């Protein structure tokens, strides 16, 4: 389980409660996330998945409770410092002006660049490597408004990797990806866990993909954690029926022994 059995957690949430005006979104959430894991957050619409990501990255501040990354209260870390630790792949966002792909990837280096000294050669090198990894170098010179949704998603992942994060967060990264790229990107993410990225947290809509990717799943229901554990422990008939209020069928993946959900 995810509680403090392993050394020190990278991220911990203690008694976190968050609400938009008077609408509670997350209630009394306790959680600690260990090193080296791919964490999937699942749950029905409005269960607080994306809010949880925003709380962990310090964009939202909880009304109650404490969030720590690397044992440090997130409120006491500067935005720039947080950006050097956490990077985020957004679900979808519109870029106002038609930047080139390589320029957007390079923006991942902004937290490291001093306003007056400017960028170093290393910043270019890291951006290029991020594009190589995500296979987006082929269209590096294209305008961001001229590429497809799938290509765009790879650019976002490249930008997040260029940020050299220790914690990589993704919000439904696979929505527009073709099958082959889905597989490729998951492999890239997995590989990055072997390198400098110490933890990946991703919100999933697709339970099967979540089961395929994650070491640990967090199932949210109405702002509370319903269940935490391996895909095996979380994805079962009773739990899914309770949370999603739908009868499902669960089969075992023919190659990997992970649960897959059929309706």
Partner 1 sequence: MKSFIKPAQNKLYGYSNWRYKALFIIIFGFCVILVIGFIALNFGTIAIEPKKILSIIWQHKTDDSLGLIIWELRIPRLIMAMLTGMTLACVGGSFQGILRNPLADPYILGVSAGAALGACSVIALQYITGLYLIPILPIFALVGAFISISLVYLLSRKKSHLPMTDLLLAGVAVNFFFSAIITLLLAISRREIHSMVLWLMGDLSTASWQKVFLIVFPVFLGTMLLISSSLELNAMALGEEEALHLGVQTERLRLKIFFIGSVMIAIVVSFTGLIGFVGLVIPHIARLMVGPDHRIMLPVSALAGSIFLIICDTIARSIIAPTEIPIGAITALVGAPIFIHLLKRRNEHDE
Positions touching partner 1 (CB under 8 A) are 54, 57, 59, 78-84, 86-88, 90, 93-100, 102-104, 106-108, 110-111, 113, 115-116, 118, 121, 124-125, 127-128, 132, 135, 137-141, 143, 146, 163
Q: Which one, 124 or 244, has the nearer CB to partner 1?
A: 124
Residue 178 Cβ vs partner 1, minimum distance, rounded to whole Å: 17
**Closer residue to partner 1 (CB): 49 or 227:** 49
Q: Contacts from 234-240 at CB under 8 Å and sequence distance 24+?
A: 234/42, 235/207, 235/211, 235/259, 235/261, 240/207
Closest CA to 128 of 101, 110, 165, 149: 101
Nearer to partner 1 among residue 96 and residue 194 (C-beta): 96
What's the min distance (Å) between Cβ of 50 and partner 1? 10
Evaluate the CA torsion angle 139, 141, 143, 144 in order and state its sign.
Answer: positive
Token representation of residue 175: 């929505």
179 contacts: CB under 8 Å, gap ≥ 6: none
DSSP label of 100: B
Distance (Å, rounded) from C-alpha 54 to C-alpha 105? Answer: 21
**Shortest Cβ 128–partner 1 spacing (Å):** 4
The answer to whether residues 218 and 225 touch, using CB atoms and an 8 Å cutoff, is yes
Look up tokens 């390589």; give the residue. Answer: 102
For residues 157 and 170, give the distance between their C-alpha atoms in angstroms, rounded to a whole number.
Answer: 9
Nearer to partner 1, 139 or 212 (CB): 139
Q: Which helix (H) or strand (E) holds 194?
A: helix 179-194
Q: Give the shortest CB-207-to-partner 1 separation in angstroms.
A: 26
Q: How far is the CB of 103 from partner 1 (least distance, A)?
A: 6
Is 40:214 a contact under the CB 8 Å cutoff? yes
Nearest CB to partner 1, comparing residues 160 and 218: 160
Task: Output the smallest distance, CB 248 to partner 1, in A.
Answer: 33
Q: Which is nearer to partner 1, 137 or 193 (CB)?
A: 137
Comparison of 90 and 150: residue with beta carbon closer to partner 1: 90
User: What whole-number distance in Å separates Cα of residue 260 and Cα of residue 232?
Assistant: 10
**Shortest Å, Cβ 74 to partner 1:** 13
């Amino acid at each position: 389980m995810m509680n403090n059995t392993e050394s020190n957690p990278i991220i911990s949430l203690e008694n976190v409660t968050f609400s938009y005006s008077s609408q509670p979104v997350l209630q009394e959430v306790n959680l600690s996330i260990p090193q080296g894991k791919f964490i999937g957050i699942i749950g029905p619409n409005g269960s607080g998945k994306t809010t949880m990501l925003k709380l962990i990255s310090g964009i939202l501040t909880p009304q109650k409770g404490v969030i720590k990354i690397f044992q440090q209260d997130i409120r006491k870390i500067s935005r720039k410092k947080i950006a050097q630790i956490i990077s985020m792949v957004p679900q979808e966002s519109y870029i106002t002006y038609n930047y080139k792909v390589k320029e957007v990837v390079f923006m991942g280096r902004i937290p490291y660049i001093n306003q007056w000294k400017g960028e170093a050669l290393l910043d270019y090198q890291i951006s290029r490597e991020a594009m190589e990894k995500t296979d987006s170098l082929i269209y590096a010179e294209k305008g961001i408004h001229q590429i497809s949704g799938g290509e765009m998603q790879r650019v976002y992942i490249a930008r997040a990797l260029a940020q050299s994060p220790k914690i990589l967060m993704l919000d439904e990264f696979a929505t527009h990806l073709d099958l082959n790229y889905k597989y490729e990107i998951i492999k890239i993410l997995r590989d990055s866990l072997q390198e400098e990225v110490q933890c990946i947290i991703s919100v999933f809509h697709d339970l099967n993909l979540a089961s395929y990717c994650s070491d640990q799943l967090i199932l949210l229901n109405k702002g509370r954690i319903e269940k935490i554990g391996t895909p095996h422990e979380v994805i079962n008939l009773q739990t899914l029926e309770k949370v999603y209020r739908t009868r499902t069928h669960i089969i075992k993946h023919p190659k990997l022994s992970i649960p897959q959900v059929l309706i």
